[in-house]
Structure 1
Amino acid sequence: MKNIKSLLSFSSLLLLLSVNANGQNPIIKDQFTADPTARVFEGKVYLYPSHDIPAPSDYSRKDWFCMEDYHVYSSENLMDWTDHGIIVSQESVPWVAPKSYSMWAPDCVYKNGKYYFYFPSAPKGEGMRGFGVGVATSDKPYGPFTPEEAPIKGVFGIDPCVLVDADGQSYIYWSAGGISVAKLKDNMMELDTKPLRINTLPKKGLIEGPFAFQRNGKYYLTFPWVRENIEVLAYAMSDNPMGPFEFTGIIMDESPTGCWTNHHSIVEYNGQWYLFYHHNDYSPKFDKNRSTRIDSLSFNADGTIQKVIRTERGVGVHQYAKTIEIDRFSKKSDNAAIEYINREIPTLGWKVVFSKPEAWVSYNSVQFPEKSSGKLNLTSKVKSEKGATLQVWSQVKSDKKLLGEIKVPASTEWQNISSSVKGSKGLQNIVLSMKEGESAEVDNITFAE
């Protein structure tokens, strides 16, 4: 397929991109990461996604999901992510068919001094079909993990999620033509009850990818749901981890660009709740290569979840001296467009295109020193065929201050323009606008002392 060949041609470019994401969506830039499960361990957020890859020559399904291993990432600020490398691969698990490329959505939990990593895959052996769910254990959240010799008996399906309740009892959820749940024994590797099918969810449309959590005495079962043609993220609530669950509503609407799947997790960190999910940002022509995103999530007074709106900005506080990809905006005017730098190589990222004076984009939560230095140097990667003048502002609520201007000479090539601007202090939003010109394009800006 043409789109697969395109992916193979630019996949090497992913390796050139920094793992540090600066909190801008998508958060991992050096490889595809889907089905992100986030957990808080040892004061950090650990991210356990699946790993989409372009299909190799020995995998027959070039138009389908292809996953051979799992990485784990960690962050203390949700801005900078450390890749701890591969923790489990299809070749390292005794019961997995080594060329099945079926290492789908995982989970990881902590109990009794150990970390338990749960993952689905296709079992090896003549006549074996479907998926089993295996366990790998470690003394550390980043590994090394040791896989068990066999999958969990009685669990046949994908997308395992484990809830460790406040009383220490653990529950495992998985999907296979719907969602099932069972209690786990204290060893975390065997079922303690027979599987129970959760039959109070919508009857029409594919439901998969369960993620369960507890908040204020309520249990939430969240899941991707193909309501029509594309997955939304939905949820149900209960007073008991095994139900009955009452379908409650939608967490996130369908992809605006037609990405068929979404898959997620919900975690509280430092007093704020976050939704981790995926989208095909770096693979717009092939939605089986996805990338992890984060946005803030909030609850209503009655415990219901407020709908999350996708953002390019993502979350976290951006340190002023780190490059700001201004196209990962918080807000923008209608006459400021976001486009790929190169449509044939989406991994190069995006740019802002200003089409008339007063067009603007805003980027929130930039941390400047608490004491202003008076002057800063601003480097801008820009281009304008006929030349333009841009302005950069700092803003806190309604208080807006002009920091300086960027004079962009006429050119059809990208230029790095250096400008002297006023310093700022404290937490600010940065607004970039076009003062004069017919059009201008901006890739990024960087402040420096």
Structure 2
Amino acid sequence: MNLLKSFTKYLIVFIFAVHTANAQNPIIKNQFTADPTARVFGDKVYLFPSHDILASPGKGREGWFVMEDYHVFSSDNLIKWKDHGVIVTQNKVPWVKPNSYSMWAPDAIERNGKYYFYFPSTPKDTTGGKGFNIGVAVADKPEGPYISQEKPIKNVRGIDPNVFIDKDGQAYLYWSGGNIYAAKLKENMLELDSEPVILQNLPTKGLKEGPYLFERKGIYYLTYPHVENKIERLEYAVGDNPLGPFKFTGVIMDESPTGCWTNHHSFLEFKNQWYLFYHHNDYSPSFDKLRSTRIDSLFFNSDGTIQKVIPTLRGVGLTKATDSIHIDRYSDISKLKTEVLFLDTTKKFEGWKTVFNGQNTWIKYNSVDFGTSKPKSILINYRASKGGIIEIKDDRNNIISTIILKEGSSWNVIEKPLKTATIGIQNLIITSKNNAKVELDWISFR
């Protein structure tokens, strides 16, 4: 019987340790994913980010951006993401300089049943001067396989390609390289159909890059990262034509409060809600060349201006009550004595833990979906060397459960009955009720 209990406890720990799909921002949790472009194809969202890796001997420049390939991910709910694997890699692109590790921010779009993936890199042929070219790979499905064109797009030098197809069917390519450039694309999506132009009336001080253009209710939004002060913030300008003129209008997202130097983004409307995809160095707080994709909801004012997005850890979407709820991706937190720390600083992709360091310290996690069946118990993965008491309430002050935690130096999963069963969508508040230090990894309901 003791052996069976031990095995059951181990099995519970294992199942929930590997089931981390519902921890929110960042959304990809097993690799770095920067510069996210998100597109709706069919009934799914496809994410095309760049792929940061650490430099190593013979692989890239130490202390700089190092990228050798691209993955594509898909989701039908913006929460659980499937990795379809590598779609383009540097040494299999005919025109790319081998081992250049410069596969920077990409984009993708569909036209006439074909999927076009645009990416910059360092070319083998430097007769046109220093810098990057932009190439295209084509596929019959959004997840690939993609076949790279033999040569990059002629008459384009720069980085950060973005493609937009207007309502009249005309396609446009945007890119950056000191300024932000734009040109029409031919129907084949592989060649320019006009001379590049520099988009005017944008800020002239500081670096501008990463253009992303979209249209909403007849307004064309040109959005881009810009270094107004010391690091990038996301800004936008509006116009009534894809080639401008544009008028600077405002800031979408302020500079990173933790000092991540870059930001790069895309906009998406999915199931009647707009979202901002962007990146931050969550898994690498001391080195901002390793970045991860985040999502937050986006809203417009009645005049079409964009409401500023405040970055969150909670991100978007509902979390099922029966999934592992990683409360460290919080909606709100008490200002004193509550911390979010890595579970293991040597294995940061394992995620974070919440640390309560005093009585009445708390954390809040919004939008937990209990469905229509009332759960009977709660599981909690914790560590408390001196024991502790955890209280879980909804935001109407109903106590769902009060859990007494036994002393122990190791992580422990326990299951306790609920005081109040609940249904529907709830916001949870988790509070430490004594002065002992308590660490929580996740909670889940049964």
TM-score in same-fold range (> 0.5): yes
What does residue 123 of structure 1 align with?
123
Asked if the contact 1:406–1:417 (Cα under 8 Å) also holds between the matched residues in 2, the reply is no
1:411 aligns with 2:408: yes
Report deviation, 1:262: 0.6
What does residue 239 of structure 2 align with?
238
Asked if the contact 2:23–2:325 (Cα under 8 Å) also holds between the matched residues in 1, the reply is no
Paired residues, what number?
Answer: 427
Q: In the aligned structure 1, how far is the partner of 2:297 from the partner of 2:371?
A: 25
Asked if the contact 2:60–2:100 (Cα under 8 Å) also holds between the matched residues in 1, the reply is no
3-state SS of the aligned residue for 1:431? strand
Report deviation, 1:19: 9.1
Q: In the aligned structure 2, how far is the partner of 1:19 from the partner of 1:357?
A: 30
What does residue 215 of structure 2 align with?
214
Q: In the aligned structure 2, how far is the partner of 1:424 from the partner of 1:322?
A: 16
What does residue 191 of structure 2 align with?
190
Q: TM-score, normalised by structure 1?
A: 0.92
Asked if the contact 1:379–1:417 (Cα under 8 Å) also holds between the matched residues in 2, the reply is yes
Q: Residues 18 and 94 from structure 1, CA distance in 2 versus in 1: closer, same or farther, beyond 3 angstroms? A: farther
Q: Which runs of 5+ in 2 are unaligned?
A: 1-16
Q: In the aligned structure 2, how far is the partner of 1:317 from the partner of 1:30?
A: 21
Asked if the contact 1:321–1:447 (Cα under 8 Å) also holds between the matched residues in 2, the reply is yes
Report deviation, 1:415: 2.1
3-state SS of the aligned residue for 1:428? strand
Of 424, 427, 435, the residue aligned with 2:425 is 427
Report deviation, 1:126: 5.9
What does residue 344 of structure 2 align with?
342
Q: Residues 126 and 200 from structure 1, CA distance in 2 versus in 1: closer, same or farther, beyond 3 angstroms? A: closer
Q: CA RMSD in A?
A: 1.6
* Superposed counterparts of 1:57-206, under 5 Å: 57-125=57-125, 129-206=130-207
Q: Residues 38 and 327 from structure 1, CA distance in 2 versus in 1: closer, same or farther, beyond 3 angstroms? A: same
What does residue 444 of structure 1 align with?
442
Q: In the aligned structure 2, how far is the partner of 1:211 from the partner of 1:354?
A: 41
Q: TM-score, normalised by structure 2?
A: 0.92
Report deviation, 1:344: 4.5
Asked if the contact 1:19–1:83 (Cα under 8 Å) also holds between the matched residues in 2, the reply is no
Q: In the aligned structure 1, how far is the partner of 2:391 from the partner of 2:126?
A: 66
1:303 aligns with 2:291: no
Report deviation, 1:119: 0.5
Task: Read off the aligned partner of 1:32 and give its amino acid letter.
Answer: F
What does residue 363 of structure 1 align with?
365
Report deviation, 1:157: 0.2
Report deviation, 1:285: 1.5
Report deviation, 1:170: 0.6
Report deviation, 1:320: 1.1
Q: In the aligned structure 2, how far is the partner of 1:111 from the partner of 1:217?
A: 21
What does residue 383 of structure 1 align with?
383
Q: In the aligned structure 1, how far is the partner of 2:272 from the partner of 2:18?
A: 28
Asked if the contact 2:60–2:66 (Cα under 8 Å) also holds between the matched residues in 1, the reply is no
Q: Which moved more, 1:360-369 or 1:69-78?
A: 360-369
Asked if the contact 1:20–1:28 (Cα under 8 Å) also holds between the matched residues in 2, the reply is no
Report deviation, 1:251: 0.6
Task: Read off the aligned partner of 2:177 and give its amino acid letter.
Answer: A
Q: Which runs of 5+ in 1 are unaligned?
A: 1-16
Q: In the aligned structure 1, how far is the partner of 2:82 from the partner of 2:430?
A: 30
Task: Read off the aligned partner of 1:198 and give its amino acid letter.
Answer: L
Q: In the aligned structure 2, how far is the partner of 1:122 from the partner of 1:350?
A: 37
3-state SS of the aligned residue for 2:293? strand
